[in-house]
Amino acid sequence: MNSGKRILTGVRPTGPLHLGHYAGAIESWLTLQHEHECFFLIADWQVSDHAGDLPRVRSAVWEVALDWLAAGLDAEKSSFVIESVVPEHAELAMWMAWYCSIGMLDRNPTLKAEMASIERPDDAATSGRSIPVAFYIYPMMQVADILLPRAELVPVGDNQLPHVELARETARRFNREVGPVFPEPQALVGRVPRLVGTDGQAKMGKSRGNTINLKDSADEVARKVRTMFAGPPRGAREPGIVADNPVFAYLDAFDAQPAEVMDLKERYQRSGVGNQELKDRLTGVLDSLLEPMRERRAGFERNMPWVRDVVEAGSKRERVLAAQTMALVRDALGLGYLRRS
Ligand code: TRP
């Protein structure tokens, strides 16, 4: 196949992917897919916070596959995998849970923040008692996702770093105490580790309602940019502050002409540039990024049987590796109870 490293990364199927996913992760995957053996995982075991809305999860699985294809991931060169289609993920997660302490989960800042955000109002008194057990242990699933194909690199947004660290620690402990099975996976963070929301909140996120989605129409993008937060109000000729303006954050992330953005920033700080000029520029920039994706997506949408087939083929490729890894794991754990000797 290719001589590079083995990569695994993934996303939770909860809805359409947005610019934050693109700049933080997918964009770097587009390059990595040419140099490495890549597994792109649709993690439908990690969405127990959406247990009440299974139809949405099931359709989001295909949304993710379409968004990835539209963005330019090549599902024939790399493997798209649905987590639950490879049940060894769950088996390995259960064994890995032996080698990860409750303390390690409790200290995981990403898990902590997410648990706080899905806590229901009446949970406060019972310290989150209605959060599913599966949600609390989803980092174990992620450890298994990474270790099952024995991945060496994990390209992710920076909020996923604690989970990769958990995979490293768990792998190290298993290798030391049970047997040398796993490489220690390394995280790779994308070019824009965190993208602000259209409302100026620190992070773009579906639950915050401040996203621009990869599949948004040109009209939707124009509307979202028009109503986007662009720093505190200021008079027509008053100097602006670049750092407080998410429109500039997006231009920095997506404008292919950094010299022109520099010039714009300079004029903005001197005053004389209204937010309209910035926003018009951004709308154009996003359109040239997203229009080719919309076109490719429409093509794939017309060919769903093919999409289904490539996901099946990718999942099967992972299953071959999964069987090999599980044989090593069972052997190291001494699980050959019924083996005839
Ligand atoms: N938890 C990741 C997210 O919320 C998605 C994910 C699932 C993942 N399994 C993974 C990321 C394995 C990297 C590696 O985006």
Domain residue limits, the chain: 6-196+304-333, 216-297
Residues 90 and 148 sit within 8 Å (Cβ to Cβ): no
pLDDT, tens only, 267-295: 999 987 888 999 999 999 999 999 999 99
Measured in Å, residue 207 CA sits from the centre of ligand 1 at: 17
Query: Ligand 1 in contact with 10 (CB < 6 A)?
Result: yes
Nearest to 42 by CA among 83, 89, 85: 83
Assess whether the region 6-196+304-333 and the region 216-297 belong to the same CATH fold: no
Among residues of the chain, what percentage have pLDDT more than 70? 96
Task: Please classify residue 235 by burial: count the beta carbons closer than 10 Å to its beta carbon, then call 0-12 exposed, 13-18 middle and 19+ buried.
Answer: exposed
Span from the CA of 9 to the centroid of ligand 1 (angstroms): 6
Cα gap 341→333, rounded to integer Å? 17
CATH of 216-297, one of 1.10.240.10, 2.40.50.140, 2.120.10.30, 3.40.50.300: 1.10.240.10
110 Cα: distance to centroid of ligand 1 (angstroms): 12
Q: Provide the CATH number for the domain formed by 6-196+304-333 in this structure.
A: 3.40.50.620
Task: Give the pair of three-digit tokens for residue 35.
Answer: 């140099």
Any ligand 1 atom below 6 A from CB of 105: no
Average pLDDT over residues 174-192: 96
Over the Cα atoms of the chain, what is R_g? 22
Q: Nearest 5°: phi and psi at 72? A: 115, 10
Residue with tokens 């220690």: 184
Which pLDDT band holds residue 127 (cuts at 50, 70, 90)? Answer: low
256 Cα: distance to centroid of ligand 1 (angstroms): 29
How far does CA 179 lie from the centroid of its chain?
31
Nearest-angstrom CA–CA distance, 198 and 222: 12
**From atom 10 of ligand 1, which residue's Cα is the shortest distance away?**
10
What rounded mean pLDDT belongs to the chain?
94
Identify the band that residue 237 occupies on the pLDDT scale cut at 50, 70 and 90.
confident
**11 touches ligand 1 (CB under 6 Å):** yes
CA distance 14 to 62: 10
The rounded distance, in Å, linking the Cα atoms of 49 and 137 is: 12
**Ligand 1 neighbour 139 (Cβ under 6 A):** no
CB atoms within 10 A of CB 88: 18
> What's the pLDDT score for residue 234?
83
The CA dihedral of 165, 169, 170, 172, to the nearest 10 degrees, is 130
Residue 322 burial by Cβ neighbours in a 10 Å radius (0-12, 13-18, 19+): buried
Q: Residue for token digits 């937010």?
A: 275
pLDDT at 271: 80
Neighbours of 38 (CB within 10 A): 26
